[in-house]
Amino acid sequence: MENGDIRIKLRELIKVREIETGEDITYLGIQEATGISLTTLVDWGKDRTRRFDADVLIRLCGFFDCPIEDLLEYVPGRTPEPA
């Protein structure tokens, strides 16, 4: 992680929206509304995705009515210490 990492915040976003709306938001419900596969949603929910498909980002942002930064966060890497 010397160069940093991208953290996926899908689970946090789901929790926030559930609190705001009082409704359960499931991966199945997201899949039915967006057409994104359950496998992809589970991988995103477990922060296991390393390649970010623009179509998936667009569909998730549309579903949650949010900007990309609500879904993804850049985590800076370690700065190498001078030798």
47: buried, middle or exposed (CB in 10 Å: 19+, 13-18, 0-12)?
Answer: middle
Other beta carbons within 10 Å of 52: 13
CATH architecture of 5-75: Orthogonal Bundle (1.10)
Q: Where are the domains of the chain?
A: 5-75
pLDDT at 77 exceeding the cut of 90: no
Q: How many helices (H) and strands (E) does the chain have?
A: 4, 2
Q: What pLDDT digit, counting tens, does each position of 17-50 carry?
A: 999 999 999 999 999 999 999 999 999 999 999 8
pLDDT at 2: 77
